[in-house]
Amino acid sequence: MDISVDCVVFGFDDDELKVLLIEQKQPEGKSAIKPQKAVPGDLVRDDEGLDAAAERILNELTSLEGIYLKQFHAFGDPNRVTGLKDRDWLRSFRTHPERRVITVGYYSLVKMDDFNPQAASFAKKAQWIDVYKIPNLAFDHNEIVGEALKVLRHELMADHIGFELLPEKFTLSQLQKLYEIILDKKLDKRNFRKNILRTDTVTPLEEKQSGVLHKPAQLFSVKRPRKKD
Amino acid sequence: MDISVDCVVFGFDDDELKVLLIEQKQPEGKSAIKPQKAVPGDLVRDDEGLDAAAERILNELTSLEGIYLKQFHAFGDPNRVTGLKDRDWLRSFRTHPERRVITVGYYSLVKMDDFNPQAASFAKKAQWIDVYKIPNLAFDHNEIVGEALKVLRHELMADHIGFELLPEKFTLSQLQKLYEIILDKKLDKRNFRKNILRTDTVTPLEEKQSGVLHKPAQLFSVKRPRKKD
DNA sequence: AATAGTTAGTGTAGAATATACACTTAGTGT
DNA sequence: ACACTAAGTGTATATTCTACACTAACTATT
């Protein structure tokens, strides 16, 4: 058997929660077939830990580093891979295409800002897709994304990890919107603010929004552990 | 690579939280070496899902069926297995002893009543060991048990799954003791009872304790989904 | 028959937390 | 200056959490 790692990378963009999907390479000589989208993932190397593999693979495919990255579930159904396209693809790209693969799911949150679409090579391969509009994916990736989303919701409430999805500087309204979209429900503005400020994970900056056609909002950033001043 | 499943089976006995450990069979011709204890686990078969494997292995080693059994983490450190004894053991009992093995941890809760310890396969014997007095185990099983315990604590609070560890009929005091032991802290009696009764997962029986040298306690059982009466 | 010993069983007041709700403010564009 | 828009702010009420102490029911002993 082989082990792979699949990374469900969440990002947030104005008013959509997105997942990073790659477009699979076309198998040789089958160019007529529409390529499938998939979550970035690959086989774990023989001498590599799971967490390390996840980090490596995510890095290879997105050039991101040092990201909140968490194992959430192992998917081991022996019939995980049944699709014809999936089979074709494996035959073209894997040395042992018939081997059963068990995959370990990781999820991660990134600021879309940090994400570097510079590499045209990259932009060709990877794209952000609205979580609520995900097409059919390769293998069992729809299920994997679904599970990741459940975990994300849970962790969002428990650990307030949501800032990870926002740019360096953000307003509380943006943060609230993020929560509303992930949880798929409206939140009360005043209560939300109380809650967030109480957790003390966020610091107001000197700066304010500008160029908006309404009262400019206070900008915040994530509170980092104090360096000595 | 190979995949294995390890099952951390919790049971409860009066005032100790226990884990089911097996004693590994001795490798041939090394009878001087003290055998190691381990959590029941084995390789996943080639055509078998992870959950199915966990159930099968638990069943093979303990003759239990239909147990609350939940995947909690995959352990994939390439240096998971370093001990000399572990190596010896693998050489004796595995067809591919040098292969790297990634293991998926499951945990499960059983009523010790229902359990009839029957060592089989490569287990010399099976025994319940106090969670807080676990010796050095084979492989990375100490870590695995530790993680399982964390998850158990978490799920205990979230989902009130504690009854699984008690006999069919139990008193609220027994249940409270169970919580106290798992969480390793004292709880307030009245508040505890309020909480449990509020969750509505438990029904009082007609029956009371008897033969105790104090006021006999009401017996309860887990509330099962109503069958049609 | 009375007594001592033991755990079962119960309520409430105060603190903390969660919820619901509406108006004023500071900008931009016309 | 006026209209438009989202930012920002406080309070009263309901709910949940916490701390806390006495009486009840049974057994064993004398």
Give this complex's ipTM: 0.87
pLDDT tens-digit readout, B178-207? 999 999 999 999 999 999 999 989 999 999
Q: Where are the beta strands (DSSP E) in B76-201?
A: 101-109, 123-130
What 3-state class would DSSP assign to A177? helix
Q: Are strands A101-109 and A126-130 parallel, antiparallel or unpaired?
A: unpaired
Instruction: Clarify whether residues B204 and B103 are in a common domain.
Output: no
Instruction: Clarify whether residues A149 and A59 are in a common domain.
Output: yes
Residues 154-213 of A with CB under 7 A from strand D: 171-173, 189-191, 193, 208, 212-213
Record: contact A104-B74, CB cut-off 8 A: yes
pLDDT value at residue B110? 87
- Give the range of the structural domain holding residue A119, as residue numbers without chain letter: 2-163
> Closest residue to D23 by CA to C1' distance?
B215
Query: Which member of A3, A73, A78 has the closest CB to residue B49?
Result: A78
pLDDT tens-digit readout, A19-71? 999 888 777 776 667 788 999 999 999 999 999 999 999 888 877 788 878 99
Q: What distance in Å separates the CA atoms of residue A60 and residue B127, rounded to the nearest whole number?
A: 47
- Listing DSSP states for A177-223 in one string gives HHHHHHHTS---HHHHHHHHHHHT-EEEEEEE--S-SSSPPEEEEEP
pLDDT value at residue A62? 77
pLDDT tens-digit readout, B49-75? 999 999 999 888 877 788 878 999 999
Nucleotides of chain D within 7 Å of a protein C-beta? 4-11, 17-21, 24-28
Record: contact B104-A49, CB cut-off 8 A: no
Instruction: Clarify whether residues A16 and A129 are in a common domain.
Output: yes
Please indicate, yes or no, if residue A92 is contained in any of the structural domains: yes
Please indicate, yes or no, if residue A179 is contained in any of the structural domains: yes
Please indicate, yes or no, if residue B229 is contained in any of the structural domains: no
Record: contact A102-B77, CB cut-off 8 A: no
Q: Among B159, B178, B204, which residue terminates a domain?
A: B159
Q: Among B109, B128, B159, which residue terminates a domain?
A: B159
Q: Residue B229 above 50 pLDDT?
A: no
CA distance A151 to chain B (A): 13
Q: Residue B226 above 60 pLDDT?
A: no
Would the Cβ of B195 be found within 7 angstroms of any atom in strand C? no
Q: What distance in Å separates the CA atoms of residue A38 and residue A138, rounded to the nearest whole number?
A: 5
CA distance B52 to chain A (A): 9
CATH number of the domain that residue B134 is part of: 3.90.79.10
Residues 6+ apart with CB under 8 A from B4: B41, B42, B43, B44, B101, B102, B103, B104
Q: Among B159, B177, B202, which residue terminates a domain?
A: B159
Please indicate, yes or no, if residue A229 is contained in any of the structural domains: no
Instruction: Clarify whether residues A37 and A147 are in a common domain.
Output: yes
For chain A, how many structural domains are there in total? 2
Residues 6+ apart with CB under 8 A from A96: A2
A28 CB burial (10 A radius; 0-12, 13-18, 19+): exposed
